[in-house]
Structure 1
């Protein structure tokens, strides 16, 4: 079937939508469409793609102005409206060119919470029941989809973001991590209480990580221990058409 693909373009100066017409099959993905355009229609189109298996996290895009997805695992047929589909870059990030966004805006924030393993001196054996505490969080592929859908940035640009707090949770729950409650302190410094608990991060995570639940656990524990004292900042809004 023929589909009109409207791609949001950006060349560093101006923004425009460019229309492409392609024949697609039932199985055709967004990435395959973009690759077809770049290879045979318009070589100037820029986007990210690498593994094509939903494990590298590079191909996040926004579909029809509201669906934040990995292009490699998203079929065109599922989002066609009146024979058309719109493809745009993810939100809450600066656009470098076309569909390529600046991932550094959330990757650099991970440094603020020391989002890496700090081992204890006396390493303890790790059992399956230990891994169950943070197993889903290890699946994070840093795709930026949760960052894209998060409305908290509208009210607090210094908000650490969902990815930050997934990293906090993952290592905080690891009995062999040396930072322990220091991770809760770092979460507080990164404005964890600015989370509006909209659950969009959890709904849209391509790896089904319970991001909002993680944030709630960190907040609850931090407040019980007197580490987190600030009240949640701002209200609630739905800027993504939900």
Structure 2
């Protein structure tokens, strides 16, 4: 199976990359959530395993009108520049930093995640609530090539979806090989629009960016899996 080879930054480039990963501002970390347990390619289809009892952490207290007030990253506009960089935490989608990125509980590389996140959650424990949620819509979209991701990756939030599934549960399959415009290497976003299971409050989108690589014949593999959540 063909794998992309990335050139590691060195010298000044390495310092810049480290600065982009660690950052120095005081932005809060991405919100924690559990909505999708696994991605897998099977016979040309992207197989998505959804969590049986999805949840997320939020500072929403039931009185605010919009979750967007608490999630400044990418709610209204998901487009970003230079890999969606800015702020502290790991930002290296498509730039070769996947292996060293911090991981979520399900093993995904954590966009804007990092060691500071646990400290922030400990310091703000009394402000955060864990909500049981339901997935109202699952969306899938092609984002572009690795070069396009390096130049103009979307930040957290919805993008124009190529395919949506309403009220999904269990396992969702999407045929990548069956569409000529999708039968190529590149990055794809899978997004879950999550709603509070009790009040139906809209918590907007939890997203995952996947680099899918085509090999010999109809073979596909997933090279990178990033969890892209709005900041809490």
Is TM > 0.5 for Structure 1 vs Structure 2?
A: no
- In proportion to residue count, which structure has more helix? 1
- In proportion to residue count, which structure has more strand? 2
TM-score (norm 2): 0.25
For CA contacts below 8 A with separation 6 or more, give which structure has more relative contact order.
Answer: 2
Query: Highest Rg: 1 or 2?
Result: 1
